[in-house]
A and B are shown apart, each in its own frame.
Chain A
Amino acid sequence: MIRGQLFDGLSARAQPVELEASEDALIVRLAGETERLIWSRLRRGGPVPDARVIKDVVRPDWSVQLDVAMSAEWASRMVSVDAADRRDLMQMGAASMLTVLAGVGLWFFGGPLLAGLAPLIPQSVLAPMGQAIADDMGPVCDDAAGKAAAAALLARLTPTGAFPEPVSLRIVDRPVVNAVALPGGQVVLFRKLVEEAESADELAGVLAHELAHIEAKHPAKLMVRLFGLSLIVRAFGGGAAGMADEMLLLGSSRAAEAEADAGAVRILQRAGISPAPTAAFFERQAKDGAKRGEIIQTLEGYARSHPADAERAKLFRDAGDEKATSPALNAGMWQSLRGSCAVVKR
C-alpha cells in the first residue's frame, strides 16, 4: 500500500488517499470510499526510478501524487505519460513528413509548376502592378527626342510578332547603374546606366537582357513565387524557413539571370546588333569591382543575385554575330537618348 494525495480536478484540495494494486486494477481508497481503476487507463508521470505521479486518461485534470516513488512492478503496469503521447508524435511526424515531401516536390517540380501558373495571372493585374512599382522608383526622364530614341531602340529589339507581350520602357532619373524588368512588361533603365554606357550597342545589350526576362516571364513567376510559396513558408515555418526561402530565391534568381543573358544574346543577334560591345560594358563594371578586392568579389559571386560581371562579359564576347550588324542607333539618336533626363516629369 502507498499513501498519496489526490487532486480530483474539481477543486484544488489535496485529499489523502491509500493506493493498492490488484491483478487488473489500481484500488484507490479515499475517506472510506473505494474506486477500482483498470491499469490500462492509468499513466505514470516522472522518470522511472522516481515516478511519483499517476494520471487518468479519462479524467485529464485528475491526478495522484505518491508520497514515495512507485515500485518497479507498478511502473511496469502503466504506460508513461510521455510514451502515451503517441498521438502527438504521429501528428508531428505527419506534419513534418508532409512539409519535407512538399519541399522535395517543389525542389524538382517547382520550375514547371511556376511556368504553368505564371501565364494564368492576367495582364490586367500585372500591368498596373508593374506601373505602380515603376512609379515608386523615381521621376521619369521626359525629353521628347530622348523618348523617341528610346522607343526606336525598343522597337528594333522587339519587332512586331517576335515578342509575346507589349513592353513599355522608361528612364528614371536616379544615379544608379541598373535596369529592371517588372511585371506587365514594364522595363526601367536608370539614368546613371545610360550615362555609363559608351555606345547605343552597349545599352541595347542591357535592354535586351531585361527584355529576355520578360520573354521568359520571370517577373510574373517571381510574383507567383512571392505570393505563393514564400507566403506559405514564412507563415508556417517562421524565421528559419524565411532564411531558407531567401537563399532559394537568391539561387533561382541567379539561374534566371543566366537565362536572361542567353536570351539577350539571341535578341541582339535577331535584331542585327553585335553582342560584343555589351561585353565591354560588363568588363568595365568588373574592373570597378576588382578595385574593391579580389576576394570580396569572389564572395560576392556566391551571394549576389547576378552572375559575376567577368563571366557575363565572356558570354557576350564569344557569342558572335548571326547576320550583318549595324549600330543600334545612329549617332544623333544616341545623343538624344543620352539627353533623356534634360526634362524630368515628377
Chain B
Amino acid sequence: MKVCGGPLIMNDDMGGSERPALRFDGSWSGFFRLAFLNIILTIVTIGIYRFWAKTRVRRYLWSKTVFVDQPLEYTGRGIELLIGAMLVFLLLILPFTLLSVAASVLQGMGLGPVSMALNLVFYAAAFWLFGFAVWRAQRYRLSRTRWRGIRGGMEGDAKRYAWLSIKMTLLNLVTLGFAQPYTTVRRWNALWNDARFGSAAVHAAAEWRPLMRVFIGSWAMALVLIGVVGFWAFWQLPSGFSWPVPGQPQDPANVLALTKVAFLGLVVIAVGLVFILLRYGAALMQAVVAGTSLDTLEFRFGAGTGDWLRYYIGNLVLVVLTLGIGGLLLPYRFWSFHVRHLDAMGSLDADRLMQTTLAQPGHGEGLADALDIGAV
C-alpha cells in the first residue's frame, strides 16, 4: 500500500492479508456520549438543535471512517440544514397546507370532483418530490464529504431522477410489485451514475436479471413454506376434529386445538418470511454495490442473510432491553454495519484524482428531512 504520490494500491482479491480498504474506528461509548448530549440539547431547545445534532453525528461517523490511509471528513454545518428546512417550509409545506385546506373547503362547498383532482395533484407532486429529495440529499452529503482534500458531488439535476422515480413507482403498481428488482436497480444506477468524487466518476451498472431470479425464488420459497406449514397444521389436528360451524355451539377442545395449531403455524410462517425477505435484501445490496465502481475502484458488499439477521435482532434487543435509550446507538450501528461490510478493490491514482469542479450547494436536504428520508 503506497501512500505518497502515485497510485494507491487497494487490497485486491489475492492479497487477503492486507488491511481492508475501508475501516471504521468508532467506539460505541464515544458515540453514546455524543448522542446523549445531542438528545438533551434537542429537548432543551424545543427541537431546533437537531440540525446541529445531525451534523455532529455525521462529523463523528465520517471522521472514524478511514479509507486506505486517511479518514473521511464531514464539512457540513448545522445552519445549512436549518436553512434547508426553512426553504422547504416556505416553498412546500406552507403552499401544500394551504392547498389541502382549499381542497377541504371545496369539498364542503359541494365541489367534490375539484377537491379530488386537487388531492390527486397533491399526491403526484409528493411522489415526484420524494425522488427529488433523495437526489438532492445525496448531493448535499457528497459535497460535504472530503477525503485527502478532495470533495464529492452530483452531476446533472434532480428532476431527471424525480421523473424516473415516478415512472418506477408506476411500474411497480402496474406489475403488482413484481418489477421490484428492476425498478430498485434502475433507481440505484440512476442515482449513483450522477455521483462524482473529485475528478473521478462513479459508474453504476448493476444487473437486475440475476436479482429477478432471487426475487422469483423468494416467492417460490414463501409459497412452499406456506403450503408445507398448512399441510403440517392440518396433520396436527386431532382425529376427532370437526370444523366449527358458524351459529352452532362449538366444542371448546376443538377450538383450543385449532387455535394452538394456527398460532404455531403462523409463527413458523412469520419467521420463515422474515428470513426469505432478508435473503432477498442481502442479495439486492450485494448486487447493486458490486455493479458500482469509482473510476478504477470496484466495490463489494459482504453482508449475507445471517449478518443482516444479526444486525436487526441486535437493534431490536438493544432498544427493547434498554427501554428505548439504546435507540440512540442505532445510527452508529447502521453506519458501522455498512462500512464494515463494504470493501474496495483495485487501484486509485492519487496524482490523477483532482479536485471537483462541481459547485457546492449552499444549503442542505430540507426536503429529505421533511419527508423523513435517510438513517444517518
Q: Which A residues contact B (CB, under 8 angstroms)? A: 5, 7-16, 60-63, 65, 88, 91-92, 95-96, 99-100, 103, 125, 127-133, 135, 227, 231-233, 235-238, 240-241, 244
Does residue B148 face the partner (Cβ distance < 8 Å to A)? yes
Does residue B238 face the partner (Cβ distance < 8 Å to A)? no
Q: Tell me the nearest residue of chain A to B370, going by C-beta.
A: A235
What's the Cα separation between A63 and B147 when bound, in Å? Answer: 11
What's the Cα separation between A128 and B108 when bound, in Å? Answer: 4
Chain A positions within 8 Å of B105 at CB level: 125, 128-129, 132
Does residue B354 face the partner (Cβ distance < 8 Å to A)? yes
Size band of the B side of the interface? 35 or more
Are the C-beta atoms of B104 and A88 separated by less than 8 Å? no
What's the Cα separation between A334 and B46 when bound, in Å? Answer: 52
Are the C-beta atoms of B108 and A99 separated by less than 8 Å? no
Known: A8-B149, A63-B149. A95 touches B5 (CB 8 A): no
Are the C-beta atoms of B108 and A130 separated by less than 8 Å? yes
Q: Tell me the nearest residue of chain B to A63, going by C-beta.
A: B149
Known: A12-B350, A61-B149. A128 touches B46 (CB 8 A): no
What's the Cα separation between A132 and B148 when bound, in Å? Answer: 60
Does residue B216 face the partner (Cβ distance < 8 Å to A)? no
Known: A10-B355, A13-B5. A129 touches B85 (CB 8 A): no
Does residue B43 face the partner (Cβ distance < 8 Å to A)? yes
Chain B positions within 8 Å of A11 at CB level: 150, 198, 350-355
Does residue B169 face the partner (Cβ distance < 8 Å to A)? no
A contacts with B: majority SS = helix
Chain B positions within 8 Å of A63 at CB level: 149
What's the Cα separation between A9 and B75 when bound, in Å? Answer: 14
What's the Cα separation between A61 and B148 when bound, in Å? Answer: 8
Does residue B261 face the partner (Cβ distance < 8 Å to A)? no
Select which of A129, A232, A240 is within 8 A of B101 by beta carbon: A129
What's the Cα separation between A62 and B150 when bound, in Å? Answer: 9
Chain A positions within 8 Å of B88 at CB level: 235
Known: A12-B198, A61-B151. A103 touches B46 (CB 8 A): yes
Interface centre among A60, A125, A132 (most CB of B within 10 A): A132
Chain A positions within 8 Å of B198 at CB level: 11-12
Select which of A8, A13, A96 is within 8 A of B49 by beta carbon: A96
Known: A7-B149, A16-B4, A237-B46. A92 touches B108 (CB 8 A): no
Are the C-beta atoms of B89 and A232 separated by less than 8 Å? yes
Q: Tell me the nearest residue of chain A to B43, going by C-beta.
A: A240
Are the C-beta atoms of A236 and B89 separated by less than 8 Å? yes
Does residue B239 face the partner (Cβ distance < 8 Å to A)? no
Chain A positions within 8 Å of B46 at CB level: 99-100, 103, 233, 237, 240-241, 244
Are the C-beta atoms of A235 and B85 separated by less than 8 Å? yes
Are the C-beta atoms of B147 and A12 separated by less than 8 Å? yes
